[in-house]
Structures are given as C-alpha cells and as structure tokens.
A and B are shown apart, each in its own frame.
Chain A
Amino acid sequence: EPEVTQTPSHQVTQMGQEVILRCVPISNHLYFYWYRQILGQKVEFLVSFYNNEISEKSEIFDDQFSVERPDGSNFTLKIRSTKLEDSAMYFCASTRRTGAGEQYFGPGTRLTVT
C-alpha cells in the first residue's frame, strides 16, 4: 500500500538555524499539506500546496516558513531561522482530491530546537 514518507524522523537544531523537512507524498496525489503538532496538543494546519503554489496557509505559517516541490516527488518545508517554539512534530499529508478527500499522513518529523 502506498504511503507518505518523511525524513528525517528526528531533527535537532539550534535556535536561529535553518532546517528543511522532507516529504515524499503518494505518487498520484495532487494536493500536499504540512501540519504540526506541539507535544500533547492537537494537530494544526500550516499550509496547503497545489499546482506548484501555496493555496492556503495559516497564521502560524509566517515569513520564516516556506514550501517547495523541487521535483516530481519531494515536498519540503523550510524554516529559515528556527525558534524554540518551533519544536513540534511536523506531518506531511497528501490527497488526490481537495476538500472531501481523505488525507494520508506521513509518520512525522520530530523537530527539537535548543
């Protein structure tokens, strides 16, 4: 069964450093998402991406964040200058259809900012 994959599984970085989180969505999916989950809290939407551009983003997704689909398979989330409060699990998701379409989530990347 196809699945969303994410690397690395755990990333430790110092405050102020740039990080890139990587995702490989399911191959025939067209819509891509990043969510985050701070420890013990609910999953929060960050950004959706379709047709090589951002289609929607949340208030969390400020100028420090960017997304890119550099080739036909990878989907990346970059945080330019990490802050302590960026520490969270980051989940990538994808779906074939927007709106009423099941989103498949990856296993997540645990980001720890020290």
Chain B
Amino acid sequence: GESVGLHLPTLSVQEGDNSIINCAYSNSASDYFIWYKQESGKGPQFIIDIRSNMDKRQGQRVTVLLNKTVKHLSLQIAATQPGDSAVYFCAENIDTSYGKLTFGQGTILTVHP
C-alpha cells in the first residue's frame, strides 16, 4: 500500500560550505527555542538554544537567529562537515508551561564530501 508521511525540506551542501536551516514557529507566546539534531535511529540531540529576549546566539560552529516579528528561527552551521548530515528540528516552548516542546517539521541536511 501507499506510505503516508511528510516530505521534509532538504538541504544539500558541499563539505566546508556554510549551511542555513530555517524554521517558522507557530506560537507568538513561545519564549524559548531549541535546535535539535537527529541522526538516523537516534534521539534528538541538543545543539543550541535561545530565549526570546535575544535575537542571536553563537555556539561552536553554530549560530541561531531569532526574528520574533515574523516568527522565524534559523540555524547557521559554519564549515559544514559530513558528520553534520542529519535531520534538524527546531522546537519551541512557552516558559510558563511544564516544558512541553513543540517541534517543527524538520530539515534533512546532507553534506557531500
């Protein structure tokens, strides 16, 4: 029979390029955001987070940008490596909740050597 599922956005880059993964979040009341990386067969792995009182935060090789006006979040990966190949999810949370994370659709990143 047919398989039904979401067709995730995909991004293919060459090793060494910079990658930008975008996410539109849904709830204007959300005030905490996380990017997770999920490799095949594994659980989501924390990459970087940002609170709503910031518009940019940098980590090691990664930068998250937050635009609350248009409810947009992006993850920039510098000098992308083959080990960065995975599905990337953004997740949002309202600080007054008990930590419930609402995940976005995900983007498949493929890095070619």
Interface on A for B, CB 8 Å cutoff? 4, 31, 33, 35, 38-45, 48, 50, 55-56, 58, 91, 93, 95, 98-108
Can you give 5 contacting A-B residue pairs, CB < 8 Å? A42-B6, A42-B103, A50-B98, A100-B32, A102-B49
Q: Would you call A42 and B101 a contact (CB within 8 A)? A: no
How close is B95's CB to chain A, nearest CB, in angstroms? 4
> Which residues of B28-74 have CB atoms within 8 Å of chain A's CB atoms?
31-32, 34, 36, 41-46, 49, 51
* Residue interface bits B1-14, CB-to-A below 8 A is 1, else 0: 00101101000000
**What is the CA–CA distance of A100 and B54 in the complex, to the nearest angstrom?**
13
**Most-contacted residue by chain B among A41, A50, A91 (CB, 10 A):** A41
Could you give, for residues 61-97 of chain B, a 1 whenever the CB lies within 8 Å of some chain A CB and a 0 otherwise?
0000000000000000000000000000101011111
Contact in complex: A105, B45 (CB < 8 Å): yes
A contact residues around B8 at 8 Å (CB): 40
Question: What is the size, in residues, of chain B's interface with A at 8 Å between Cβ atoms?
Answer: 32
Q: How far apart are the CA atoms of A95 and B111 in the complex, in Å?
A: 31
Q: How far is the CA of A103 from the CA of B49 in the complex (A)?
A: 11
Are A48 and B5 touching (Cβ within 8 A)?
no
B79 to chain A, nearest CB (A): 24
Q: Are B94 and A105 in contact (CB under 8 A)?
A: no
Contact B5–A39 (Cβ < 8 Å): yes
Q: In the complex, which residues of chain A have a beta carbon less than 8 angstroms from the beta carbon of B22?
A: none
- With the chains together, A20 CA to B74 CA distance in Å? 37
